[in-house]
């Protein structure tokens, strides 16, 4: 809102001759001790002050009373106002009447200063203020002054800019201002604390004083204890005088309270009560407010709610009462009023105002006025208007009639007035540009020029941006680049200029600012920003603030933070202890706020947790709980996920499972709820999404029915097998996914070995004929693809092997039972990943399957890696025997497995076997704690079944974790 947005009309500021002096004055000393301090006397005063008991009769031309009736609109008139004779006259009258002096002449003189500035259509400039302050060192208010003199003086001086802190400011001017204000405030407090009737306290004076107090703070006045005491003394009189306030007074009072609170005034019980008292008056006098009053009232209510005022029925009714009058008077709103209206409506919607038909009509009615008056908006108006339009679009998710035209009308004026925008405006403008483009605004040449015009202004004023401005700027630049803005040297330099300011002001960022900053850092790195030391230092400076303010982040902030930390780590940020602590601090809040996350936030959170775990974040109860809390919301929001969300969600669930997430009841349901939307949106997935989907569906293995997998692959794979836009990593993921699907088909009886997927597999494999990756996992994929296609392997994969104690014990036991049996361990066959045990004389492979070979470690639902290795070994001519590791916990459990191997050695291998890819992470520790029953559908007897076979009697069943 415009800092000058709510003035007081002339009818409230006159000091006329019909103002009657009371017959009796409250007894008080004429002199009071300044609360602020003693005023230093000026060097070389304009004229020596006469004796305190001497009274001067000035000529009519210089009399302070007669000045009220003169036209003061030139430098000559100002010179007449600052003649020493004027002050001598005032001091003389004050001395002559002593404690009976009511301050009338001083009030009239203050009014003459205001009339001068009103005629000049500007407040006092720095030179005028300095000249005036030389004169005002003896302008002293006392407790004997009456209410009208005090209110007129403080309001007039404030309106004229007498107390405005210009920069630079002479120290003597500053001291004189402070002393003068202190005497006025002391006298106002004294009057407020007396009987209202005795002091003639009225509604007009209360309005003028509270408006003046708000204006003082808005102009930079410090809110001293004396200042706050004055506000507190005035507020109870609002209730007492509520029946006497005119429409303009109601407007100015609510504006004043909103402005005071916005500048840090404590929201005391008295202030809240004053607001509550005034709101019904808005409704009752709704037909009497002028356009500027309507605009300022809506601004005030929006600002109050933004600063913590509850949206009570009274406030909602006041807003609703004003809205029809916006449309009815739309042709009469000035540029400033249009700005305040649209800002207020945007802010109200942002903080929860219901979008009623009247509200929509009011916005739609005002928007064309922006285009019609585009030449009259000053820089602050332009900044606030574009911010408001961006906020309206962001909260409504739709483009209103006239909004495009309004944006287009304002953009050229940004470029034309670029040198006049202050730091706050620049931050708001760039935020608005980013938000508008992010919500569908076309990136026109005018918009690109606007961004380019503002960037040098950021760098030039980098030291003047506050914490919120820095946050908005970095967020905006990250967003703009994310949606296509060219990464120019100017943009990179602007980012580099702002980063040190984050570290310097790290203690001033609130929760939302921290979340937005880390999001921006992550996004800038993700889209190619060089990871300079300044960026690392910025991230390091913010991470402790996450932990310190963990209880203050809302759902969106939590989602953005975890996404940002995951993205930073994925792009090379070291997962420091501070980063891990920040993640751990946020995870409990995912569970606590699980019902508040939007669909996009659910997708980002699960993606982030999967990515963090994939990059080394430790599994913890908090992480398990967070995943479990979110999975039911995937099902509940299944119809609201866009294609990117669907791809990220399925990738995340597969990755979490692959990294050890224990399968929760919600996992299968979440996957099943998303799969129909893959086929339904098949034409909307970009190549990288398709690669992620193929990989995820393959990784989830038997959790997804084979017919669902094949139908989905048929609808997607043709779009990427020869797509040049797919990255090398995307090709590898797709190739692996296609291989797993082929493997599953080959393990089904009566399936044609030359299935329809092999052509796509061949196309993908061909891309690596001249590429030799040094990553073990990538080498393994290429080697398996070569084996699957029967083609020469272009790489020599290097595999790391580890022999677990359970595997070693089983080997020894098997060798002990069959001493002549030749057994080889950890051998790579046909360049495939090593198998656990090989019986070369029998062309047999034994795989010891730990929990990582199954979806969720259930020893039943095999994952894609397990199925692929089974099929490849079978294709190479090996019989594969699969032994779940929980069958090797004792010799007693091993015996039926060894007996079965003895039988199989003497028989020809069956056409199909079962196998899995070896994964040893935490397998042994997992099964030591799990004494579960091994499903018999893999062809092996459990200990209980073995007992039944030997004795002919049912064995006593042990209760297990899987039963």
Average pLDDT on 632-655 reads: 95
pLDDT score at 753: 54
Q: Looking at 62-71, 390-399, 556-565, which range is the least confident one?
A: 62-71
Bridge pairing between strands 844-849 and 879-884 = parallel
Crossing angle of the two packed helices 379-396 and 335-350, in degrees rounded to 10: 30
Dump the DSSP string for 132-174: HHHHGGG----TTS-HHHHHHHHHHHHHHTTT---SS--HHHH
DSSP 8-state code for residue 664: P
pLDDT score at 601: 97
Q: Give residue 287's pLDDT band: very low, low, confident or very high (50, 70, 90).
A: very high
d(CA 419, CA 424): 13
Predicted TM-score (pTM) of the model is: 0.77
Backbone angles phi, psi at 845, to 5 degrees: -120, 135
Q: Is the dihedral of CA 856, 861, 867, 869 positive or negative?
A: positive
What percent of the chain stands above pLDDT 70?
A: 84
Neighbour tally for 706: CB within 10 Å: 14
d(CA 894, CA 699): 30
Q: Give residue 662's pLDDT band: very low, low, confident or very high (50, 70, 90).
A: low
pLDDT score at 40: 38
pLDDT score at 664: 65
pLDDT score at 29: 33
Q: What angle do CA 960, 919, 873 make, to 5 degrees?
A: 105
Q: Looking at 4-18, 521-535, 550-564, which range is the least confident one?
A: 4-18
* Owner of token pair 């939307």: 677
pLDDT score at 751: 56
Q: What angle do CA 268, 269, 272 make, to 5 degrees?
A: 90
Does pLDDT of 73 surpass 70?
A: no
H helix intervals, 527-638: 533-548, 555-570, 577-592, 599-614, 621-636
| pLDDT tens digit sequence for 663-712 | 667 888 999 999 999 999 999 999 999 999 999 999 999 999 999 999 99
Neighbour tally for 914: CB within 10 Å: 18
d(CA 622, CA 550): 14
pLDDT score at 397: 61
| pLDDT tens digit sequence for 860-896 | 899 999 999 999 999 999 999 999 998 888 888 899 9
Q: Give residue 138's pLDDT band: very low, low, confident or very high (50, 70, 90).
A: confident
Average pLDDT on 299-313 reads: 90
Does pLDDT of 909 surpass 70?
A: no
Structure tokens at 13: 């500021």
3-state secondary structure of 884: strand
**59-68, 240-249, 935-944: which has the highest mean pLDDT?**
240-249
What proportions of the chain, in percent to the nearest 5, are helix, strand and coil?
A: 65, 0, 30
Structure tokens at 463: 């030291």
Does pLDDT of 122 surpass 70?
A: yes
DSSP 8-state code for residue 824: E
Neighbour tally for 75: CB within 10 Å: 9
Q: Looking at 286-290, 353-357, 506-510, 730-734, which range is the least confident one?
A: 353-357
Peptide bond into 168 cis (omega under 30): yes
d(CA 77, CA 116): 8
d(CA 519, CA 692): 23
* Residue 884: strand pairing partners: 849
Structure tokens at 837: 């045990």
Average pLDDT on 607-629 reads: 91
| pLDDT tens digit sequence for 914-944 | 333 333 434 444 444 443 333 333 333 333 3
**End-to-end CA, the chain:** 66
* 873 CB-near residues (< 8 Å, 6+ apart): 829, 832, 835, 845, 880, 913, 915
Contact yes or no for 340/295 (Cβ under 8 A): yes
Q: Give residue 14's pLDDT band: very low, low, confident or very high (50, 70, 90).
A: very low
d(CA 100, CA 23): 9
Average pLDDT on 833-857 reads: 92
d(CA 439, CA 393): 7
Crossing angle of the two packed helices 84-97 and 126-135, in degrees rounded to 10: 40
pLDDT score at 849: 92
Q: Give residue 308's pLDDT band: very low, low, confident or very high (50, 70, 90).
A: confident
d(CA 699, CA 697): 5
Average pLDDT on 135-152 reads: 91
Q: Give residue 167's pLDDT band: very low, low, confident or very high (50, 70, 90).
A: confident
Does pLDDT of 451 surpass 50?
A: yes
* 856 CB-near residues (< 8 Å, 6+ apart): 657, 661, 662, 663, 664, 667
* 465 CB-near residues (< 8 Å, 6+ apart): 423, 427, 458, 473, 498, 501
3-state secondary structure of 488: coil
Average pLDDT on 712-729 reads: 87
Contact yes or no for 822/800 (Cβ under 8 A): no
Average pLDDT on 253-277 reads: 93
**pLDDT, averaged across the chain:** 83
Q: Looking at 97-111, 147-161, 328-342, 897-911, which range is the least confident one?
A: 897-911
d(CA 642, CA 647): 9
| pLDDT tens digit sequence for 484-541 | 888 888 988 999 999 999 999 999 999 999 999 999 999 988 877 666 788 888 999 9
d(CA 227, CA 312): 29
- Count the residues in the chain: 963
What percent of the chain stands above pLDDT 90?
A: 58
DSSP 8-state code for residue 102: -
* Owner of token pair 């002001």: 505
Angstrom distances, CA of residue 73 to CA of 67, 79, 118, 209, 430: 12, 11, 9, 26, 40
Identify which of 171, 73, 178 has the alpha carbon closest to the alpha carbon of residue 115: 73
Q: Give residue 135's pLDDT band: very low, low, confident or very high (50, 70, 90).
A: confident
H helix intervals, 200-246: 203-218, 225-240
Identify which of 204, 13, 215 has the alpha carbon closest to the alpha carbon of residue 107: 13
**Alpha-carbon Rg of the chain, whole angstroms?**
39
């Amino acid at each position: 809102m415009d800092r000058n947005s709510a003035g007081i009309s002339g009818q409230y500021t006159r000091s006329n001759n019909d103002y009657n002096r009371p017959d009796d004055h409250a007894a008080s000393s004429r002199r009071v001790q300044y609360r602020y301090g003693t005023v230093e006397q000026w060097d070389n005063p304009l004229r020596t002050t006469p004796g305190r008991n001497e009274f001067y009769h000035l000529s009519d031309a210089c009399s302070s009373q007669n000045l009220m009736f003169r036209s003061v609109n030139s430098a000559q008139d100002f010179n007449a106002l600052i003649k020493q004779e004027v002050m001598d006259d005032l001091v003389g009258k004050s001395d002559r009447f002593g404690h009976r002096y009511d301050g009338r002449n001083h009030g009239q003189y203050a009014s003459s200063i205001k009339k001068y500035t009103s005629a000049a259509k500007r407040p006092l400039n720095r030179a005028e203020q300095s000249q005036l302050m030389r004169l005002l060192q003896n302008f002293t208010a006392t407790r004997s002054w009456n209410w009208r003199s005090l209110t007129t003086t403080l309001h007039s001086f404030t309106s004229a800019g007498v107390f405005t802190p210009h920069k630079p400011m002479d120290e003597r001017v500053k001291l004189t201002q402070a002393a003068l204000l202190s005497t006025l405030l002391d006298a106002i407090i004294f009057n407020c604390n007396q009987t209202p009737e005795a002091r003639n306290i009225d509604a007009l004076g209360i309005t003028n004083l509270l408006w003046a107090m708000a204006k003082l703070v808005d102009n930079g006045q410090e809110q001293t204890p004396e200042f706050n005491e004055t506000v507190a003394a005035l507020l109870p009189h609002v209730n007492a005088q509520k029946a006497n306030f005119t429409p303009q007074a109601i407007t100015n009072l609510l504006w004043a309270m909103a402005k005071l609170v916005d500048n840090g005034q404590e929201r005391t019980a008295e202030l809240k009560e004053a607001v509550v008292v005034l709101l019904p008056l808005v409704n009752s006098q709704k037909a009497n407010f002028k356009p500027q009053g309507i605009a300022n009232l809506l601004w005030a209510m929006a600002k109050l709610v933004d600063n913590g005022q509850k949206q009570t029925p009274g406030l909602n009714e006041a807003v609703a009462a004003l809205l029809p009058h916006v449309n009815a008077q739309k042709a009469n709103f000035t540029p400033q009023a249009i700005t305040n209206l649209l800002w207020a409506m945007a802010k109200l919607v942002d903080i929860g105002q219901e979008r009623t038909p009247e509200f929509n009509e009011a916005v739609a009615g005002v928007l064309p006025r922006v285009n019609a008056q585009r030449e009259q908006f000053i820089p602050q108006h332009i900044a606030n208007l574009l911010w408001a339009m961006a906020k309206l679009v962001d909260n409504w998710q739709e483009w209103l009639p006239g909004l495009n035209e309004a944006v287009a009308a304002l953009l050229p004026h940004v470029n034309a007035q670029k040198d006049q925008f202050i730091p706050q405006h620049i931050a708001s403008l760039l935020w608005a540009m980013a938000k508008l483009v992010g919500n569908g605004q076309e990136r026109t040449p005018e918009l690109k020029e606007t961004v380019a015009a503002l960037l040098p202004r950021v760098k030039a004023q980098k030291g003047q941006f506050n914490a919120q401005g820095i946050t908005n700027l970095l967020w905006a630049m990250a967003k703009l680049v994310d949606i296509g803005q060219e990464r120019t040297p100017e943009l990179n330099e602007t980012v580099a200029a702002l980063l040190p300011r984050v570290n310097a002001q790290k203690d001033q960022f609130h929760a939302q600012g921290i979340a937005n900053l880390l999001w921006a850092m992550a996004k800038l790195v993700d889209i190619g920003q060089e990871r300079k030391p300044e960026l690392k230092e910025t991230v390091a400076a913010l991470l402790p603030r996450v932990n310190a303010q963990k209880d203050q982040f809302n759902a969106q902030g939590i989602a953005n933070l975890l996404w940002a930390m995951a993205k930073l780590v994925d792009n090379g940020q070291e997962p420091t202890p501070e980063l891990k602590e920040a993640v751990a601090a946020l995870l409990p809040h995912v569970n606590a706020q699980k019902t508040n996350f939007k669909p996009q936030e659910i997708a980002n959170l699960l993606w982030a947790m999967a990515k963090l775990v994939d990059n080394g974040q430790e599994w913890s109860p908090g992480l398990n709980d967070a995943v479990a809390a979110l999975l039911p919301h995937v099902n509940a929001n299944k119809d609201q996920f866009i294609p990117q969300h669907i791809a990220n969600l399925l990738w995340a669930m597969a990755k979490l499972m692959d990294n050890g997430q224990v399968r929760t009841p919600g996992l299968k349901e979440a996957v099943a709820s998303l799969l129909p939307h893959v086929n339904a949106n098949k034409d909307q997935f970009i190549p990288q999404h398709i690669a992620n989907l193929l990989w995820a569906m393959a990784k989830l293995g038997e959790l997804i029915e084979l017919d669902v997998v094949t139908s989905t692959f048929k609808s997607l794979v043709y779009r990427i097998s020869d797509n040049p836009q797919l990255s090398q990593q995307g090709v590898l993921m797709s190739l692996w996914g296609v291989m797993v699907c082929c493997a599953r088909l080959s393990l089904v009886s009566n399936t044609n070995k030359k299935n329809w997927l092999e052509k796509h597999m061949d196309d993908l494999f061909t891309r690596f004929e001249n590429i030799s990756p040094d990553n073990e996992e990538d080498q393994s994929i290429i080697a398996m693809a070569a084996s699957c296609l029967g083609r020469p392997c272009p790489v020599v994969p290097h595999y790391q092997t580890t022999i677990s104690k359970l595997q070693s014990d089983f080997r020894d036991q098997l060798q002990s039972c069959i001493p002549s049996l030749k057994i080889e361990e950890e051998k790579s066959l046909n360049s495939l990943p090593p198998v656990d045990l090989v019986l070369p004389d029998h062309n047999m492979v034994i795989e010891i399957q730990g929990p990582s070979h199954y979806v969720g470690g259930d020893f039943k639902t095999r994952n894609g890696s397990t199925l692929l290795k089974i099929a490849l070994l079978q294709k190479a001519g090996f019989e594969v025997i699969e032994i779940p590791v929980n069958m090797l916990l004792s010799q007693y459990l091993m015996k039926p497995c060894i007996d079965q191997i003895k039988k199989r050695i003497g028989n020809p291998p069956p056409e199909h076997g079962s196998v899995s890819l070896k994964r040893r992470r935490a397998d042994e520790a997992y099964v030591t704690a799990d004494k579960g029953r091994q499903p018999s559908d893999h062809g092996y007897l459990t200990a209980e079944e073995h007992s039944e076979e030997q004795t002919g009697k049912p064995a006593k069943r042990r209760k297990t974790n899987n039963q």
